[in-house]
Amino acid sequence: MRSYSVRDVERVLRLSPDITRNLIKAGFVKPARGARREYRFSFQDLIVLRTARALIDARIPAKRIRRSLESLRRELPESVPLSGLSISAVGEHVVVRDGESRRRVDSGQYLLGLDVSLENGELHVVERREEVPASAPQPVADWFAEALRLEASDPQAALAAYARAVGDDAQLSAAWINWGRLLHEQGHTEAAREVYGRALAALGPDALLLFNQGVLFEDLGDTDAALTAYQTALQEDPDLADCHYNLARLYESRGLAQHAIRHLGQYRRLVAGDSR
């Protein structure tokens, strides 16, 4: 059975690696690991990833998304059928069409249409969007989904939404990670430091939190703290490629060539694995 890399996800589904990692972190998909511990996605994983992103954009509550995706995964074939595959919303239900076969997947109401086909050995996933009637406003039921939607258009509102998200669920690591990252991007470095500290106190060691904290420490000029954060992150997830790269940089700047070469080698192996 064919599997797909993070690069394939970016190319086929047009999902950035950061979005993909956040969807994995939120528990919407659980990819396998390859020979070098890189993520490997099945056909089903790709469809679930794309559907999860569409549901988040539609501001569907996270619990309902998980329920919908679990049902959808049970109905998906292991590979693309010759007739192609169509996933769409009909009323309050998701319908999977495989040739003449039509199966309903229990879910919440949302507007979604995906056409999946295999052409010349290439997987194609095309989303069909329908207009949401202006008379049907969607209430904010999930602050994490709302924050994701607002990041590009209204960062300040997104920050407030992430704060609400962790207030509702302090164990939602993806919300903590995005909140701290967005604060950092907006130049609120001390606020970002505080958020990462609170997040680690609530969640314990988390690889992505620690990696982001390390980046923040670097920008604040505290390379000792950055080294510690990166090293601890790799204890939690030895396959975090960007963490190996940043450690290689820091070790090289300190004249520790042997350490730098080791981490740069790990980075290259992991990136090569993702590109397969």
In a domain, 134, yes or no: no
**Does 249 lie in the same domain as 194?**
no
**Does 118 lie in the same domain as 23?**
yes
Q: Give the integer Cα–Cα distance in Å for 29 and 50.
A: 10
In a domain, 10, yes or no: yes
**Does 195 lie in the same domain as 148?**
yes
CATH code assigned at 254: 1.25.40.10
In a domain, 75, yes or no: yes
CATH code assigned at 80: 1.10.1660
Q: Are 210 and 230 in contact (CB under 8 A)?
A: yes
pLDDT of residue 61: 65
pLDDT of residue 105: 46
Q: Give the integer Cα–Cα distance in Å for 261 and 272.
A: 16
pLDDT of residue 31: 85
Ranges in the chain, pLDDT < 50: 82-84, 89-93, 99-112, 118, 129-141, 275-276
List, for residues 65-76, the tens digit of each pLDDT value.
Answer: 667 677 666 666
**Does 185 lie in the same domain as 232?**
no
**Does 114 lie in the same domain as 15?**
yes
**Does 167 lie in the same domain as 120?**
no
Q: Which residue, 176, 202, 228, sits at the end of a domain? A: 202
pLDDT of residue 134: 40
- Residue 214's Cβ-count burial label (10 Å; 0-12, 13-18, 19+) is buried
- Residue 63's Cβ-count burial label (10 Å; 0-12, 13-18, 19+) is exposed
Q: What residue numbers bound the domain in which 261 lies?
A: 205-276
Q: Which residue, 202, 218, 234, sits at the end of a domain? A: 202
pLDDT of residue 192: 94
Q: Give the integer Cα–Cα distance in Å for 219 and 197.
A: 16
Q: Which residue, 97, 127, 157, sits at the end of a domain? A: 127
pLDDT of residue 202: 92
Domains held by the chain: number: 3
**Does 192 lie in the same domain as 214?**
no
In a domain, 70, yes or no: yes
**Does 209 lie in the same domain as 198?**
no
Residue 123 φ/ψ, nearest 5 degrees:
-80, 130
- Pick from 151, 72, 77: which is nearest to 106 by CA? 72
**Does 106 lie in the same domain as 52?**
yes
